[in-house]
Structure 1
Amino acid sequence: MTTLSRRGTLMLPFGLAALTSACAGTGPGTTGMPADPSGRADPEQLALLRTLAGMNPRPIESLSAAEARRQPSYADAVKARAVELANTNPGRVIGSQEDMTLTTSPTPLLARLYRPIVTHNRPLPLIVYFHGGGWVIANIDTYDSSARALCRLSEALVLSVHYRQGPEFRFPTAHDDANVAYVWAVRNAATIGADPNRIAIAGESAGGNLALNAAIYARDTRLPAPRAVAAIYPVGGVNLNTPSYEQFAAAKPLNRAMIEWFVRNYTRGPQDLQDPRLDLIGKANLAGLPPVTLVNAEIDPLQSDGTLLADKLRAANVPVKHMVYPGVTHEFFGADAVLTKARQAQEFVGAELRSAFDAPVPAPQPQGRRPVRRQGA
């Protein structure tokens, strides 16, 4: 679609973790709305939303990007709620973690490598992980719990990559960074103790979009294909008239005003919304991708994006597993310290990735002409 309207195909519903401004509840910076405007949150999720509301973040649309990045986050609320529950051991024990800088071009990228506890010295599978945050906010620390869970439950190394963000670096910078991060992983897997034949890509929210796009980039440039893609409530399209967007337009922690703010801070203008990297559902070619695992929350404008993506992937003969978790909201996946549904979703994704890693090594792809770099990628 080419026309833009405030309630139509305006902007993308972006991932949000470092910032849950305009969050649930009342207090300074809020509008007196209930913790769960949908009325559908299960008891654990509702308690978390109330903790988040008590942190009194301001509406994101009233802030600069720098101010937004300093806001209390959903992850901060999870930590506070875990303290309330005296949960000091959420079960995220791994072997080690190491901050590093990837030698990528045109700019080095910050990353964190998570190692699982293993009893052998054989090369391990590797997951390249992209955090959420609407391509504007959040970082590796914000999504630490998700990366640690994937490391533990997939029994794999996890390389969590921090990409450049808007408004300082606008579309398609984050997408370009995700592509070069995957290239780095393919070329350097052995140096970090990973098996180059067992690499997967995962991402959460805006990072879920990056994960799918990195797999498309690998296909189009004839890089070794990832074994699988795990996309957790990914940004899939630009249509704000989907059923879940209509039903949960005022949901917490993601709402329409935030979406407009994210778009304003990442895209260069309305023309970017016509790009297949942003409109995967409407314009992207998804044929030839590896198996995809999709996770969605019920109380999330992006729920229908997941369903539409799953349908389009199946139509392109891509194997898909899709789960929607009731009673929870956008950003629930990393809240395993306080949400039972988060633990269930993490175990589901971990099992799917383990299965992909354990499958026979695919036959080598036929070699053709030298890959041509896509414009803007």
Structure 2
Amino acid sequence: MTAPGEPALAEPQMQSVLDQLASMGGKPMETLTPTEARQQPTPAAAATMVAAKAGKDTTPTALVPGVSSVDRTIPGPAGPLPVRIYMPEGAGPFPVVVYYHGGGWVIANKQVYDGGARSLAKFASAVVISVDYRLAPEHKFPAQHDDALATYRWATQNAASIKGDPARLALAGESAGGNLAVATAIAARDAGLPMPKAVISVYPIAQPDTTTASYVEYATAKPLNRAMMGWFAKHTARTPADLQDPRINLVKANLTGLPPVTIINAQIDPLRDDGAMLEAALKAANVSVERKLYAGVAHEFFGMGAVIDKAKDAEQYAGDRLKAALGK
């Protein structure tokens, strides 16, 4: 048992991934350049190695069966955007989920977050579009948010061309992408676009204050800690004022009129309380919101369903929530 006031310990399956990650020789991200940070071992790679050591076939289609994918580009505000389109089995038309990967707006890509996007395609029986939005610091805020909205706009206009139903759209994302999912719903409302029917926001960045209880409690947690969040903010923002922009500071944004939002949080995560604060802000705006907190798991657990039972539960939960909102 964890003593009162002590940070929670990871449950065994999560700990096996964290141990594997620790063995892979990564350096503290806040000591690196963005280019160096993008070459670091990832939690997703650690999870794949755990699966391999357990004798599992680690090809993506084996880890998440029943989903195929194709890479292509779509038009973006500053040039073509690479996307990966995931397709469930069947004839369609399917609901369409636009998905945004994590990485603090600075690192990672659709490949690193393949597990989360692929699992949503499976459990929601939906076409999922995962986009490689532009990264900071080469492209400072709001480039990421502009690309996120452009991807959603493309989906509203082109869903039918990918066996999708343009009347059944949703948004989803993890971490920085969890922020993008909510921010894009707000932007779609303000732009008069067809509204998504649901938003799945997995351990989102929802506000800039790094002195919340979970930031303090998990200041040195793995794989995400407070120093890394400061590093992400430094590289993403043009000025400190950007961190107060409602696209980043979601808890201060106008949230009225948004579709139902599902928030998934990990206990061992500086961003745990961001999820709780976003939940409260959405309730205050009369938005339907459901939040689920998973004990004993850390940031990045979503998408690791092949090796962590609680991750598979979270993926199934997200898929069920999408199915309930998107219907037939």
Q: Do these two structures clear the TM 0.5 threshold for a shared fold by scoring above it?
A: yes
Distance 1:248 1:182 in 2: 33
- Superposed displacement of residue 257, structure 1: 1.7
From the CA coordinates, give the structure whose radius of gyration is larger.
1
- Superposed displacement of residue 310, structure 1: 0.7
Q: Name the count of aligned residue pairs.
A: 320
**What is aligned with 2:20?**
51
Q: Is the 8 A contact 1:243 1:304 kept in 2?
A: yes
**What is aligned with 1:371?**
none
- Superposed displacement of residue 38, structure 1: 3.8
TM-score by length of 1: 0.83
**What is aligned with 1:356?**
325
- Superposed displacement of residue 63, structure 1: 1.2
Distance 1:290 1:123 in 2: 22
Q: Is the 8 A contact 2:67 2:118 kept in 1?
A: no
Mapped pair 1:81 → 2:50 = yes
Mapped pair 1:99 → 2:76 = no
**What is aligned with 1:241?**
211
Distance 1:105 1:300 in 2: 33
Distance 1:354 1:87 in 2: 29
Q: Structure 1 residue aligned with 2:312, among 331, 343, 349?
A: 343
Mapped pair 1:112 → 2:84 = yes
Summarize the alignment of residues 136-147 of structure 1 with structure 2, pairs less than 5 Å apart.
Answer: 136-147=106-117
**What is aligned with 1:3?**
none
Mapped pair 1:198 → 2:191 = no
Q: Is the 8 A contact 1:175 1:213 kept in 2?
A: yes
Summarize the alignment of residues 118-267 of structure 1 with structure 2, pairs less than 5 Å apart.
Answer: 118=90, 121-267=91-237
- Describe the superposition over 1:289-311 as per-residue Cα deviations: whole angstroms up to 9, x where unpaired: 00001000000011111111111
Q: Is the 8 A contact 1:94 1:114 kept in 2?
A: no
Distance 1:38 1:81 in 2: 24
Amino acid at match of 2:113: Y
Distance 1:116 1:138 in 2: 24
Structure 1: where are the runs of 5+ without partners?
Answer: 1-36, 360-377
Q: Is the 8 A contact 2:71 2:84 kept in 1?
A: yes
- Superposed displacement of residue 95, structure 1: 3.9
Distance 1:77 1:38 in 2: 23
Amino acid at match of 2:86: Y
Distance 1:305 1:39 in 2: 18
Report which stretch shifted further, 171-180 or 259-268.
Answer: 259-268
Amino acid at match of 1:83: A
Q: Is the 8 A contact 1:112 1:161 kept in 2?
A: yes
**What is aligned with 2:268?**
299
- Describe the superposition over 1:332-359 as per-residue Cα deviations: whole angstroms up to 9, x where unpaired: 0011111111000000000000111117
SS in 1 for 2:241: helix
Amino acid at match of 1:113: I
SS in 2 for 1:87: coil
SS in 1 for 2:204: coil
Which has the larger share of helix?
2
Distance 1:179 1:247, change over 3 A: same
- Superposed displacement of residue 91, structure 1: 4.4
Amino acid at match of 1:98: V
* Percent of aligned positions that are identical: 48
Distance 1:298 1:321 in 2: 16
Q: Is the 8 A contact 2:77 2:146 kept in 1?
A: no
- Superposed displacement of residue 67, structure 1: 0.9
Structure 2: where are the runs of 5+ without partners?
Answer: 1-5
- Superposed displacement of residue 87, structure 1: 2.4
Distance 1:339 1:311 in 2: 29
Distance 1:45 1:189 in 2: 36
Distance 1:247 1:256 in 2: 10
Amino acid at match of 1:194: G
**What is aligned with 1:26?**
none
- Describe the superposition over 1:176-206 as per-residue Cα deviations: whole angstroms up to 9, x where unpaired: 1101111111011111121100010000000
Q: Is the 8 A contact 2:173 2:201 kept in 1?
A: yes
Q: Is the 8 A contact 2:226 2:270 kept in 1?
A: no
SS in 1 for 2:84: strand
Q: Is the 8 A contact 1:94 1:151 kept in 2?
A: no
Distance 2:324 2:19 in 1: 37
Amino acid at match of 1:265: H
Distance 2:92 2:313 in 1: 29
SS in 1 for 2:76: coil
- Superposed displacement of residue 104, structure 1: 2.6
Distance 1:293 1:236 in 2: 14
SS in 2 for 1:334: coil
- Superposed displacement of residue 122, structure 1: 3.6
- Describe the superposition over 1:117-156 as per-residue Cα deviations: whole angstroms up to 9, x where unpaired: 12xx341110000000000000010000111100010001
Which has the larger share of strand?
2
Mapped pair 1:314 → 2:283 = yes
